[in-house]
Each structure stands twice: as C-alpha cells, then as structure tokens.
Structure 1
Amino acid sequence: MADYAKTAAGVLAGVGGEDNVQNLVHCATRLRFVLKDESKANTAAVKATPGVVTVAQAGGQYQVVIGNDVPDVFAEIGKISRFGGGHDGSGGTPAAPGEKGSLFSRFITMISGIFTPVLWTLAGTGLLKAFLAAAVTFGWMDATTSTYAVLNALSDAFINFLPMALAITAARYFKANEWTSFAIAGALLYPTMTALVGAPELTIFGIPFTMVSYVSSVIPIVIIVWLQSHAERFLYRVLPGAIKRFVTPMIVVLVAVPIVFLVIGPISDLLGGWLGDGIGWVFSTVPWLGGAIMGGLWQVFVIFGLHWGLVPVFQIEFQTTGQMLLIAPVFAAVLAQAGAVAGVWVRARNKNLKSLAAPATLSAFLAGITEPAIYGLNLPLKRPFAFGIAGGALGGAIVAIGGVFSTAFVVPGGLALPALFGNGNMIMLGLGLLVAIVLPFILTIVVGFKEPSDEGVTVPAEANDVVVLSPLDGTVVKLSETPDAAFADGSLGQGVAILPRSGAVYAPFDGVVAAAFPTGHAIGLRHADGAELLIHIGIDTVKLNGEHFDVKVTTGQQVSAGDLLLTFDGDAIEQAGYDLTTPVVVTNPDLYPEVGTPASGPIAHGETLFSAIAVESLATVK
C-alpha cells in the first residue's frame, strides 16, 4: 500500500522545504510547485522519493509527477505544511502575481493556478453530460422526461455558471476579495441580464452597450478580478478604516460590472468569435493539419506544461461555437501513448518493465492519465514515445477529417469517449482512434526498443546485490543520526552517513554518473545492475551555490570504482556554518529495498561500506 505521508515528506524536503515554496497546487497527476529558488531543490532526491514518477521543470513551475495518487499526497503535504489541504486541489496558497519568470511562464502559471481547483469538477460533470448525451443518441433515455431534465441540470450547471467558480479561484490567485468577485460574476449571469443578450438600444448611465453572453465564459471574469485586486488595494489604502470594509466592495462592484458590460465583455466576445472562427476555418479547410498538430504534439505540450495555455482556448471555442473541435484529436494523442506502452508491456522481456507497463497501460487507456506511461517508460525508452507521437498525429488527422467534436469538457481517455459519440462522422472517429492505438502498438512490438540492460536505464534485466565502497575517508555513523529529517528517517533511501576527514569523493563502484549537480553538493550514480546511489555532501550545502566545491565529472559519464568525482573544502564549508555529515543512500527502493550490515567507525575510501540488497535476493531468502 502506498505511503502517501512518506512521499509527501520526501517531496517537501527535496524541493528545499516549506520555506522555499511560494505556491503549491495539483492537477490530474502532478504537484505543481512555484519555488522561491529552484537551485535549492534536490531533483535527484525528489525523483528518488517513493511514489514519485519524475520531475519536470516548465512553465515557471517545479512539477513533481505522482500519477493518480496526487490528491492523496497533496493532502498529506497539507498536514505537515501550510500548503496543500483537501483532495480538490484548492488548498494551495496562491502565488503572488508578478512572480519571477518570463511573461509566458507567468501566464502559464496563472492559468494553472486559476483552473486547477475547478478542473476535476469540470471534467466530472462534463463526463456525466457526455454519458447523458450518449444515452439520448442511442435511445436509452427520452430527452422529454423529467429524469433527463434533472440529470441535464446537474451535469450542465457547473459549466453554465463557470464564471462564478473562476471568480473564486481568480480572487485567490490575485489576492482579491473572493466574495466581491463572486458578486461581480453573479451580476454577469443574473437572469435579467442574460435575458438582454442581443437586445437593441441598451445603455448604462446613458452610454450605449451591447449585451453579450457570459454563460460559460472565462476571459471577462479573470480580467475584471485582476483589475479588482488592484482597485481594492488602492481603496483600502485611501479610505478611512471605519468605512473601507463595506464601501470598498460597493465601489468595486459599481465600477467593475459596467466596465465588463461596456468594454471587457464586447472585446472578449469579439476576440473569442475570431478565435472560434479561426479554429473552425482550420478544421473545415485543412482539418488533417489541425488534427495532426493536436494529436501529435499534445503530449509534448503536457511534458513542458504548455497544455494549460490551451485549456481556456477549449472553453472559448465552446462558448462561441457550442462545440470543441480542438479536444477531439487529443483523444488520439492520449490513446496513442496508451497503445505504445501496451506494446512495451507485450514486447519487454524485463519483468520490471512489464510490472511498470501494466498499470500504466490501464491508467492511460481508461482514465487518460498518461504521465506514468510517458515518464516511466515511453520517454526513457525513446522509441515508444516517438511511435506514440506518430500514431497520435495520424489518428488525430483522421478524427479531425471526420469533423468529430465534443460538447463537454472532459479529460480525454477511454471512459470519456461518450463525449464524442454522435458528434461528427463516427466511422472516421473509430478509424482514427484505431490507427492511433494500433500503429504505435505494432511499431513498438515490431521495431522494438533497447531493453534497459542494454541502455543503462535504471531497471536491469535481473537486479543483483551491489557492493558499495566508501566514497570518502571518514567515520561511518548511522543514517538516523543525520541532522536532516528526510535522510534520518529513510525517506530518501536506506544507507549510512559519513563524517568526512578529507575533501575528496571517489566513485564507490563501476557505473555511470546519473546526476552531477552544478552546485557540487551532491552526486548521483547508477550501477550497471541498477542500484542508484546518492552522495550528499553536508546538510543544506546547496545554499552555497557551488562555493567550496569542484566537480570533476559530468552527467552521463562512465566511471570506475576509485575515480575522483569531486573535491570540496571541508574547513571552509564548516566555517560557513554548515554540517558536513554526508549521507550515502540507495535511492531506488523498488529494486533495492534494504542494505546489508554496514561498516562502522573509521573508514577509508575504497573499503566496503555496505551492500545494496536486491529484491530478488530477499525473495530467495524468503
């Protein structure tokens, strides 16, 4: 059973602790951190934490990929820090606007922060709407019955009143009064106002305006809440304390709503219309191109976190056209990677690969959660990921040629397919998805890929016990005596600690440098049999930013036992106020869950430190 508390503790420690975290939210599969200083994050340690699939740094975020269990890990982080909280993704502390990074990175971070808390509810109600539409299409339910009316209301209400939900999340992000934001959104969707859509000769204070529909809209409320946040800060500063608490909301609502009706709404409606027409033109004129781009590149967008920039585009398309052409080819992209990892499952001779591929395949096919498949297998193995891109592009082109679209926002995957039923050419949909799945599946099986034992990837064909030599001259102490909780409790791996008496670190076995940190404070190594070792020189020494360290090797370099890896000035490091206790830990407990009886007391580099015990050995003993 997964230990979510252990994963949470390891991740939080690995990113530099709570004090290094500016913001934390989660999406379908990732913990999305905004860190104050990314150089303080120990990426190798985070990756080595049990329950972590991988780490991606993109879009101004430090993204820790967990998989389907991310809400549980997020909740556990909430128990040990001020971040995290419930299982809904809404417990993060909003990042301050104006955080560091490029304009595009800040935009992606903003979209992620505003949409993440509502994504699951939006997807869940959208899935229900898709099932309901399929039931009517296939004659399983009569659309004139009261049962249908009730189910339609509860599946359609959230997206209908989406601006009110986004008012809350945007207010939390921009640090505005969320209930004032809610009042603004309520005015936009007030029945009397929605009845005026398209009505002629409307005025506000004598100024003519055109009433547009704000149902399901996203842009107007986000812009006005951003303006609201600035207005509130100004009014709180200039108004007398006795009246500012109730006068500020009155002024903000009185000014903000007319601004939306007069300026923001009509402009966003015009731009949204252009965007919807543009998408429609591409998918009607050269549909194969639009489908190939979405089907082929979607998973690439996901890797870099850029897919968040498309989430509001989906919604704008739906608001202006009543359908989502863009989302249909994404089904091909998702199922293509599922087909590729299924090919890995069938083709692989390595039992560890098979054990990883089985749940990754099911998760990708059914739920559309592809991160375990991509980061755990397809991307490291290279060819399956490329085959998935090819299958997604071809399948997406066929789906788009068929004019297939969705009428609900869903997370693309097998369970969400009813969102496409009855919308476009179903033969082309079936053909496109079949091609998307079968092409990468067959290519992966026929063309194949390099097994990990041939490629030096983390999982060997047969994990064997590995003798780890001491990388340092010094004194061995118990890992539990390390003055760092994440190391002391074994969250980052089993092993020992060494109190150095010299400033040189040597290779403890033949292998490859998995991670040579530019700061020099740590180095990761991988043995040919699969054992992964982290040598962390000192506690919190990453804060030295490389001062007093001199790294002699590079990531990917082959080393032999006894080769010099790096040097450091121990006296200078201690004078700077840092503890030199050096943990030496095995970071892949799935293959090496235990270490044999370690050495104790004084030790010289090259002497046996401990043995990493493989799973196979433990199974044999039992």
Structure 2
Amino acid sequence: MNTSTPEALAEKILRGVGGPENIESLTHCATRLRFQLHDGEKADQAALDALDGVMGTVPQSGDRFQIVIGGAVAGVYSDIMNSPSMSGAGTPRPQSDAEVKAEIRAKGRGRFAWLDNFFEYLSDSFRPLLGVLLGASLIIAIASMLDAFGLVDFRSADKSATWVFVDSMWRSVLYFLPIMVAYNAAKKLKIDPWVGATVMAAVMTPNFTGMIGSKTPGVTTTTNTTLGTSESVAHVFGLPMQLNDYGGQVFVPLLMVALLALVYKGLKRIFPENVQMVFVPFFSMLIMIPLTAFLIGPMGVWAGNGLGTGLSWLNGHAPIVFAIVIPMLYPFLVPLGLHWPLNALMLVNINTLGYDFIQGPMGTWNFACFGATAGVLLLSIRHREKDMRQTATGALAAGLLGGISEPSLYGIHLRFKRIYPRMLVGCLVGGVIIGLLGGVNTKAFAFTSLLTIPVFDPMIKYIISISAAFFTSMALVYFADYRTKEERAQVNAERDTAEAAAGGKAVVPAQAVAADDRELVAVGAAATGAAGSAAGTATGAEAPSGGTPATSTPATGTPATAGKGLELTAPVAGRVVGLGEVEDPVFASRALGEGVGIEPADGHVVAPVDGELITVADTGHAFGIRTANGVEVLIHVGIDTVKMQGKGFDVRVAAGQKISAGDLLAEVDLAAVRAAGHPAVTLMTVLNTADMTSVEPHVGQDVTAGTPVVTVRR
C-alpha cells in the first residue's frame, strides 16, 4: 500500500530532477509535469520512474524533462510550487563560461532537436486548452443525445433562443480558438501572450468579419458559379486583402506567432528598457496586424485547406487505407505528443468543410487503447493486484468518460511490451470495419469517449467499429496476459507473501526480498510458493548440530506423515547447516521455503533430484527444479552472488532441460566468490513447502555431493 503523502512525492520529484536549483521553469498539462532544467543530465530517470505516483518519464532535447503523473498532476504541481525549497527555483542562475559552452552543445543534442522544438511548440499551444475543449465536447455530446432522442432539433436553422444560447456555450471555444492558441503560442516563445492574442483578435472583430460579402466601399465580392462559393477582397491603402472568417482556424495563429516572436524580440533589442512597455507592443501590433491580414492569414487558410483537401481526397478515393492508417499511427504519435497536427486538421475540416472525417477512425484507436486497459483491469482483479487494479480503474475511467488516453499509455501500456502488439490488432480491426462501412463523420470537435458517441454520423457504424476495437484488444490482452509466465508467477508469489504478512503470519514482506530472490520465486508454478513456504515453516525448528533432524509442518499443525519421502541430496560437498545460520535474512526467515545451507568444499554443483530445470539464472548463481510430483526446489550458490554478473560461474545446463540427480549444473570458482566479498554458502530450499506434509532438513553433518540432506513428504 502506498502510504506516501503528496508532499513527500513532491519532494522526491524535486530531488529526482536535481533539486530546485536545477529547475529553470515548470508547467503542467492534463497528465504531465513539464520541466525546463538547467542541466538535464542531473535528472535521475530511474529513481523517478520507481516512485509511487509516477507513471513514467520522458527526457527531451534542450534539457526538457517530462514526468507523467496522470489525473493528479495539478495537485502534485501545486505541492511542488508551494514547497519551501522552491523559493530559489524558476529563475535562470548565473552561468560560468564552461556552462555556457555546455548549454550550446546541449542545444545540438540529437539530430532532430529542431523537430522536438517544432512539436513542442505545437503541443504547448494546445495543451492548456484541453479542459475547455473537453468541456465543449461534452456540451455538444449532451445536445446531440437530446437530438438523437428527438427531444430537440440540434441542427435546425431556426432554433429557439434557448438553444442558440446553448450553442454559444460550446461555439465560444471553437470559434475563438485562434485567439487562445495565439496566447499559448506566444507564451511558449516567451513573448507577451496578450500581444499574440490581440493581433489574432484584430482579424476576428465584427468590424473585420462584417466586410465579408458586404457592400462596404472598397470591398469586392465574386461568386464561383461552378463551386457555389464566394470570395471577398477589400482594397486597403490601395492593396488587395483577401477577407476570411478566421473563427476556428489554428494554422494562422501558429504561423503568425512564430513571426511575431522574431519581431517582438527584435524590437526589445532596439528600444531601451524604460520605454519597452509602450513601444514594443505598439510596433508589434502595427507590423503584425497588417501582415496577418494581408499575408499570413490567407496563407494559413490555404495551407490548412490544402492539407484537409489532401486527406479528404485519400478518404474519398481509398477510404479503407485512410481508415486503417489513422488508428495505426496514433498509438505512436500520442506518446511523443506528435498527434496535435492531426487534431489541428480536424478543426480545419470542421471550419472549412462543415464536418470532419478523421475523428471517426481516430476513435477506433482510442477504444482499442481503452480495451487493452480493460483487459489489464480484468487480469488485475483475477490475480488480486491491488496497485494495478487502481491504476487501470482510473485510466479506464479517464478514457471512457473523458477520451484521454495518456493515463492508459503511460500508466500501463508503455510499461508492458506485450500490450502494444495486441492493442494494434484492435486498432487494425476497428479501422478495417470503419473503412468497409464507408467511414464516419462528425460536425464537432469531440474527445472520443462514451459520452461523445452521439456526435458521430452514422452513429451505428461508429459504435460497431469502436466496439470491435475495444473488445478485440481487451480479449487479446486478457487471454494472453500483459506479463510473461515467469513475470506472472513472480508477481503472484509476491502478492501471496504480502497477503500472508497482512494476515499476521510470520513472513518476510515481499518488498524485503532481494531482486535476485524475487526472480527465483517464479520457479514455482503455483502462485502460493513463496507465501506458503513461510507460512508452512513458521513453527518449524532446527535440531542442534548433530542432533535429530527438525520437522517442518504446515501452519495448520498437521503431523508429518510416516513412511518414506522424497530425498533431496546435497548439490555440493561440504558442511550442512540450518537456514537459521546463514547470513541472508530472506533464506533465514524461510520466505523462500524450508531447506539447508552447505558450506561448500568445492565448486562442483550437481542436481539434487530428478526433474525439469524451470529456471536457470543468467548469472549462473541459481537453479530452479520441479520434480515429476510437483516438488519445487531452489539451489542458490552463494549470497548476493547475482552482483558478480556471472563471473566465476560456468553453467552447464539450460532452462527446460530434463535432468537426473547427480547431473552437473555448474562449476563455480569459489575463490572468486570469496574474493568478491560474498559468502559461498550454497542454499537449497523447497519453494512450495506449504504444499508438503513435512520438509525435514538433516543438518550438522559433513557430506559429499549426492548425500541425502532433506526429506520431503507430501
């Protein structure tokens, strides 16, 4: 259970990014903290990834660093900004000559740093608007549902004042989107955001738009009888200026602010600081408003229309190809923040065509993503994974109700490589279906969630395609699992250990088990191996050296069964000791089962029993064997020898191999083990001790390899 407070998480994040003094600026979006660091190399990515509450990290060029938090990002951001240690952060500090040179070198890091900057500019111009865009999409969804049930004619040309007002509630966002984008884009480029907003607003005033199609002197309107379109041109100062309605346009403000930044910063170098407040905005407006009206505005409209027309052509001539390409691209674009250009095209389509054809296929990607999350949720319920169940529940709610995929991607999908291929199959299935059915359109920009289904037309085609995508991904993830068999056995063993500890049994908590030992718990096919081993030996006692062998019984107190049991022989020659005498607390506590330790006389390690090698550690320090009747045996050579990374271990077998008692497993250089500072004691335990009637270690004797040292009775 995660007991850390939000304040504790904030402080850990601050330490992870190199301390408050390493932070130049910090912002956040719907799911991520976005740091601009003085030195990106100081960020400890591994430590940050390991924090509870952190879904993942995304280092970027130019010392930018993103930390994915999910829906709680605003609270974590607030905790960080209100931290007393942040008082000295957020301002550039004086740099030495060496730091200046290092900064210049950092700007060239990566061949595509300019591409990172470009997409960062696009993303940061839209991200702050996620909330109002989502709010507008839900208003549209509610109105569309009422329309679908025949309660109101949402598309009527003569709506009542009530519904005209309701329309204004969502149109305010989409129509004035260019002003909002201009503000964010200017802020991103570190110029006065209000200047950017003002320049864009100038060509959206009623005075400007009122000239379109009017009989104002100097305005000429021509009609294309073939296309049924009209075009208005105003002659201003003797120069022709094409008139456009820029409501909903996004390319225009993006192009305009990029040029405005150059003008604004240039003017700041020209004017003295004491008059910049007046003259820099004045001349910026004087230069950029005409440039936008005469040149940038028409260019942005042409560019947006051209891209939209190209995609429309593909959608019209090869709809199946289009419907497949869109959902197959999005899983790779969204994690990198590269999906915003396509989102911008959706807005252009709505503004120019009156509808958009991208969001339908895109919806199949979103629902394939949410379906994969649902598969993970079902598995987490089945396997009693509390943390994953909480993560998947929150991510699924954010997806199905809000249409937001980042919590699923960063919290789950990108962490487990088995999910993506199965999710892509769902994307493919949904895309093929929507293509075969002839495509789906929408007249509103909407986050693709359950609540926005009514805005898509034909709705039934959309429901069929997203359902197919959702359930395909869910089924594939559920039946194939998002973990490998070994990972599943390990995680389930840790779960059972933790559950046994919570129930008051004498066990070592799963988090106390060393990484190499947790890996070895996966030897047991039964998920109860680790927990049961501890529970089953909690009352067991070792005999004194040279005395009667101790008997280990299950926690229920069932007496050991008389008669001959399975004999496990010594894997090495040497002195047999009880587990309580070894220096490793995990083995000593019997968290990995009852057994013995042997102080080895040589490094010749052999199999103690007939069976199958289930696990052979890459480093050669451990072996897991399962007998024909299900006894699971672990042989572990030395303590903490995983740190030797295989040096001194000559492994002679492989996982999956059938072996007989006495077969050579490995030759170990004991001198190298001891020289590295590790105890050489070789440990042998029965992982599923709890499933046995008794496990009886025979300690206090000197043995040769092959001598019986443990008796197991089922």
Q: What corresponds to 1:47 in structure 2?
A: 49
Residues 12-34 of structure 1: CA deviation (Å, up to 9, x unaligned) = 22122233334433232222334
What number of residue pairs does the alignment pair up?
486
With over 3 angstroms needed to count, the CA separation of the structure-2 counterparts of 1:273 and 1:448, relative to structure 1, is: same
**Alpha-carbon deviation of 1:215?**
0.8
The corresponding residue for 1:383 is 418
Instruction: Name the structure 1 match of 2:81.
Output: 78
Letter aligned with residue 105 of structure 1: D
In the alignment, what sits opposite 2:568?
A: none
- 1:301–1:73 CA distance, 2 compared to 1 (3 A): same
Structure 1 residues 562-601: aligned runs within 5 Å = 562-563=640-641, 565=643
In the alignment, is the contact (CA less than 8 A) between 1:511 and 1:559 conserved in 2?
A: no
Distance 1:117 1:356, change over 3 A: closer
Per the TM alignment, residue 104 of structure 1 is displaced from its structure 2 partner at its CA by 0.9
Query: 1:414 maps to what in 2?
Result: 450
> Which residue identity does 1:117 align to in structure 2?
P
Secondary structure of the residue aligned to 1:464 is helix
Identity %: 27
1:376-399 alpha-carbon deviations (Å, 9 max, x no partner): 444444333322211122213433
Q: Given the superposition, is the C-alpha separation of residues 559 and 407 from structure 1 closer, same or farther in structure 2, using an over 3 Å criterion?
A: farther
The equivalent of 2:34 in structure 1 is: 32
In structure 1, distance between residues paired with 2:30 and 2:41: 26
**Corresponding residue number in structure 2 for 1:544:** none
Corresponding position: 1:351 with 2:351: no
CA 1:219–1:369: 2 relative to 1, 3 Å: closer
Q: How far apart, CA to CA, are the structure 2 residues paired with 1:355 and 1:244?
A: 53
Structure 2 distance, partners of 1:237, 1:378, is 48
Q: Please name the residue that 1:361 is paired with.
A: 396
Q: Identify the match of residue 119 of structure 2 among 96, 100, 108.
A: 108
Q: Which residue of 2 aligns with 1:429?
A: 462
Aligned match of 2:332 in 300, 319, 328?
A: 300
Amino acid at match of 1:282: L
Give the letter aligned to residue 426 of structure 1: M
| 2:121 counterpart SS class | helix
Aligned to 1:11: 13
**Which of 303, 310, 313 matches 1:271?**
303
Contact 1:114 1:166 in 2 (8 A): yes
* Residues 222 and 566 of structure 1, relative CA distance in 2, 3 Å threshold: farther
Is 1:438 the counterpart of 2:471? The answer is yes
8 Å CA contact retained: 2:23, 2:35: yes
Work out which of the residue numbers 124, 129, 132 in structure 2 matches 1:118.
129
Paired AA for residue 16 in structure 2: G
Structure-2 residue corresponding to 1:184: 199
In the TM superposition, 1:510-521 aligns within 5 A as 510=517
SS in 2 for 1:276: helix
CA contact under 8 A between 1:35 and 1:62: conserved in structure 2? Answer: yes
SS at match of 1:412: coil
Contact 1:126 1:155 in 2 (8 A): yes
Which of 434, 439, 443 is 1:403 aligned to?
A: 439
Deviation at 1:150, TM superposition (A): 1.2
* Residue 632 of structure 2: aligned partner: none
Given the alignment, which residue of 61, 66, 71 partners 1:68?
71
- Given that residues 453 and 463 in structure 2 are in contact (C-alpha distance below 8 angstroms), is that contact kept between their aligned partners in structure 1? no
- Quote the offset at 1:280 in angstroms: 0.9
State the secondary structure of the residue aligned to 1:24.
strand
Q: Secondary structure at the match of 2:15?
A: helix
Are the equivalent residues in 1 in contact too, given 2:182–2:193 (CA < 8 A)? yes
- Deviation of the 1:449 alpha carbon: 4.8
Matched, 1:317 2:342: no
Give the drift of 1:157: 0.6
CA contact (8 A) 2:354 2:443 kept: yes
Q: Distance in 2 between matches of 1:452 and 1:250?
A: 67
Written as runs of structure 1 = structure 2, the 5 A alignment for 1:486-505 is: none
After alignment, is 25-34 or 369-378 more displaced?
Answer: 369-378
Distance in 2, Cα, partners of 1:439 & 1:324: 26
1:335 & 1:30 partners in 2: Cα distance? Answer: 22
Work out the CA distance in 1 between the residues paired with 2:50 and 2:190.
Answer: 35
Letter matched to residue 440 of structure 2: V
Pair 1:154-2:169 in alignment? yes
Q: Give the letter for the 2:23 counterpart.
A: V
Within 2, Cα distance between the matches of 1:170 and 1:83?
Answer: 26
Q: Deviations over 1:439-462 (max 9, x none)?
A: 122223444454565368767553
- The answer to whether the 8 Å contact 1:22/1:36 transfers is yes
Q: Which residue number in structure 1 is paired with residue 495 of structure 2?
A: 462
Structure 2: runs of 5+ lacking an equivalent: 93-102, 214-218, 221-232, 500-510, 521-528, 532-616, 622-638, 646-676, 681-714
- SS for the counterpart of 1:139 is coil
Distance 2:189 2:337 in 1: 21
One-letter amino acid matched to 2:130: L
Determine the C-alpha separation between the residues in 2 that align with 1:565 and 1:45: 20
CA 1:395–1:566: 2 relative to 1, 3 Å? same
> How much has 1:557 moved relative to structure 2?
6.6
Secondary structure of 2:82's aligned partner: helix
Give the 3 Å change call, closer, same or farther, for CA 34–413 of structure 1 in structure 2: farther
| Deviation, structure 1 residue 306 | 2.2
Alignment of 1:75-224 (within 5 A): 75-80=78-83, 102-142=113-153, 144-197=159-212, 200=220, 201-224=233-256
Within 2, Cα distance between the matches of 1:311 and 1:81?
Answer: 39
Query: Residue 150 of structure 2 aligns to a residue in which SS?
Result: coil
Amino acid of the structure 2 residue aligned with 1:175: K
Contact kept, 8 Å, 1:341 with 1:373, in 2: the verdict is: yes
Note if contact 1:114-1:170 (Cα within 8 Å) is conserved in structure 2. yes
CA shift at 1:410, angstroms? 2.9
Name which of structure 1's ranges 375-384 and 216-225 shifts more when overlaid on structure 2: 375-384
> What's the offset of the Cα at 1:606?
6.7
Alpha-carbon distance, 1:411 to partner: 2.6
Q: Choose which of 309, 316, 325 in structure 2 pairs with 1:284.
A: 316
User: Are 1:402 and 1:429, in contact at CA under 8 Å, matched by a contact in 2?
Assistant: no
Structure with higher Rg: it is 2
How far 1:563 sits from its partner (Å)?
A: 3.4
Supply the RMSD in Å over aligned alpha carbons.
3.8
User: 2:366 — aligned with what?
Assistant: 334
| SS in structure 1 of the partner of residue 442 of structure 2 | coil
Does the aligned pair in 1 maintain the 2:403–2:448 contact within 8 Å?
yes
Counterpart of 1:6, as a letter, is A
Q: AA paired with 1:133?
A: S
Quick one: distance in 2 between partners of 1:217 and 1:208?
A: 21
Per-residue deviation, 1:289: 1.7
Distance 1:460 1:359 in 2: 25
Q: Do the aligned residues in 2 keep the contact of 1:167 with 1:221 (CA within 8 Å)?
A: yes
Per-residue deviation at 1:162?
1.2
Deviations 1:248-305 (A, max 9, x none): 3222212111111111111111111111111111212212222212222312222233
Shift of 1:123: 2.0
Aligned residues of 1:99 and 1:106 also touching (Cα < 8 A): no
Deviation string, structure 1 residues 63-95 (Cα, Å, up to 9, x no partner): 3221221222122222128989xxxxxxx999x
Gaps of 5+ in 1: 85-91, 467-493, 496-506, 514-527, 531-555, 568-603, 608-622
Distance between the aligned counterparts of 2:79 and 2:353, measured in 1? Answer: 41
State the distance in 2 between where 1:240 and 1:446 align: 69
Kindly indicate whether structure 1 or structure 2 has the higher relative contact order, using CA contacts under 8 Å at least 6 residues apart.
1
